[in-house]
Every structure is written in structure tokens, then in C-alpha cells.
A and B are shown apart, each in its own frame.
Chain A
């Protein structure tokens, strides 16, 4: 008999917060990204680009999963961001998530960094005590 399956894991809603590091906007993400969970990310990216912020770091450290719908949202803003002299750098992507990006050749379109500081440094921003 069919029944609704609830599983044994806690639901992982996507939380999206942002902070400023110099001239760079850092978006901290936590949770899984799919067609259901992505609206807050979409809204935040629109908010930033409409506000003229084109230097963006996405912290993927707490994102264990991204579906193609999530990649579509990044695709929808990267043109505007790069046309305005900015960029979108992905920090701390986990192995499975990086592989998803790589399968779709997104690794040729987006820059990746091992840490948020390294991602911010891509924009020439000095981070912490180490001046470059």
C-alpha cells in the first residue's frame, strides 16, 4: 500500500545570509539546493546585482548537495555580473558538489577557492593581517 514516506533525516532547508568583506559580498549558504529550496538564493543574488554589487563570493562549505536548478540560478546572474566587471567565486565546495559543477563544465565558467579568504582575495582584497 502506498504511503507518504517521511524518511529519518531532518529536513535541510536552505539558509542564505550575506556579509561584507571590503568591496566583496559574501553569501553564506547552508543546506541542500534544489528546485524547492533555491528561491532565497535567487532573491539574494537578484538583490545584490540590482543593488550594483558585482563582486560576490558564495560560501558552499555547508552545502552537501546542488541540483541543476541551483546551477541554473548561478547561470542566470553570471552574465550580468561579469558584464559589469565583477565575478562570482565559489568557496569551500565539498567534493560531491564540486563534481556536480565539474560534470557540467561549470568549473570553466566560475572560479573556485579553498577558503572564503582566498575567494575574497581573487578580487584583490587583502584579507586579515596578510597583505598581498
Chain B
């Protein structure tokens, strides 16, 4: 058995896909995360967490950045660098996301009001080790989801 058969590669060069900004492709985004996650040896619960965070991030882009316009594009890029598994989700939507305007909700109060929606960002923050939003002057927005992988 060669070393490469014993475990996952410690690093993975970026793998990218482009998806339409349409909820019909949420499962495709999840399958992509699952396929690459398996390739680098993530556990099934790590893959689940990444799938959930990516689903929430892509749903937010479709509903907020693109305001439901299904004709736009969302790029997903996955890479693994040592202990970090990183999924970058990039869009060019008009509505830039300001995470500072969305502090974590008080769940007790939230649930008592039976509110609907707005929990996606909270879940992303709970599931990932890092969630970073950036926007540049060209109108490119990106959220980077980082999960530290147990060896």
C-alpha cells in the first residue's frame, strides 16, 4: 500500500464550479461539497456541516444578493490547505451583505416569536470555524467558509 492509499491528501488545489442562481441547484452544490469532501477524507458529519453551511450561503445569495433573479451566476471554489477546508462562494449581486448588521439572534426570543427566516447566517457561524464576507470595488462579493479538519 502506498502512502497515497493510506489517507487523504493533505492539500487540494482549488476545484471550482459555477451554478445558476436558482434554488433548483442547491442539491448540486451539496453534491459537489460531498464529492470533494470525500476525496480529501472528511468525516460524514464534517461533510454534513459543510453541506448545510454552503446551502445556507447559496440560499442567501439567491434570495438577497440576487433578489431571487435565477439568471445570475454563483461560483463555488473548494480547497484544502493542511487543516483548513475552505469553500468560497462568489456572486456579483447588487445587494452587498453586511454581516455586522446581522448579529446572532437571541434564539429564545426568536423562537418565542415564531419568526421565520434569518437563521442561515447564525447556522453558518455555528457550523464553521470561520465565516468571512468580503466585497470589492468591482462588485464581487464573497463569503469564505472555513472548517478546521481533525486529522
Interface residues of A (CB under 8 A from B): 2-9, 11-12, 32, 34-37, 65, 67-69, 71-73, 75-76, 78-79, 95-96, 99-100, 103-106, 108-109
B101 within 8 Å of A by Cβ? no
CB 8 Å contact bits of B90-119 with A (1 = contact, 0 = none)? 000000000000000001100100111101
From A5, A76, A96, give the contact of B116 (CB < 8 A).
A76
A72-B27 CB under 8 A given contacts A105-B107, A106-B111:
no
Contact A7 B111 (CB under 8 A): no
> Is A34 a contact of B23 with CB atoms below 8 Å?
yes
Q: When the two chains form the complex, which single residue of A8, A96, A106 contacts B31, counting CB atoms closer than 8 Å?
A: A8
A7 — nearest CB in chain B belongs to which residue?
Answer: B31
Known contacts: A7-B28, A8-B35, A35-B59. The answer to whether A71 contacts B119 by CB under 8 A is yes
Chain B residue with the shortest CB-CB distance to A13: B27
User: A3-B17, A78-B114, A105-B108 are known contacts. Are A65 and B32 too (CB-CB below 8 A)?
Assistant: no
Q: Is the CB–CB distance between B17 and A5 below 8 Å?
A: yes
A105 touches which of B45, B52, B111 (Cβ 8 Å): B111
Determine which of B27, B48, B119 lies in contact with A12 in the assembled complex, contact meaning CB atoms within 8 Å.
Answer: B27
| Besides A5-B18, A75-B115, 20 other A-B contacts (C-beta < 8 A) | A3-B18, A5-B17, A5-B32, A7-B31, A9-B34, A34-B26, A34-B55, A36-B24, A67-B59, A68-B117, A68-B119, A69-B117, A72-B116, A73-B116, A96-B45, A96-B48, A103-B123, A103-B126, A105-B107, A108-B111
Decide yes or no: A9 and B127 within 8 Å by CB, A4-B18, A105-B107 being known contacts.
no
B107 contacts A5, CB within 8 Å? no
Given A34-B59, A36-B26, A7-B35 contact (CB < 8 Å): yes
List 26 contacting pairs A-B, 8 Å CB cutoff, sorted by A. A2-B18, A3-B18, A7-B32, A7-B34, A8-B31, A9-B31, A9-B34, A32-B30, A34-B59, A35-B59, A35-B62, A35-B63, A36-B27, A65-B48, A65-B51, A68-B117, A68-B120, A68-B123, A69-B117, A72-B116, A73-B116, A75-B115, A103-B123, A103-B126, A104-B122, A108-B111
**B25-48 Cβ-contact flags toward A at 8 Å (1 or 0):** 011101110110000000011001
Contact with A along B1-35 (1 / 0, CB 8 A): 00000000000000011111001101110111011
Q: Which chain A residues lie closer than 8 Å to B126 at the CB level?
A: 103
Nearest to A72 among chain B residues (CB) is: B116
Enumerate chain B residues within 8 angstroms of A104, measured Cβ to Cβ. 107, 119, 122-123
How far apart are the CA atoms of A105 and B119 in the complex, in Å?
11
CB nearest neighbor in B for A108: B111
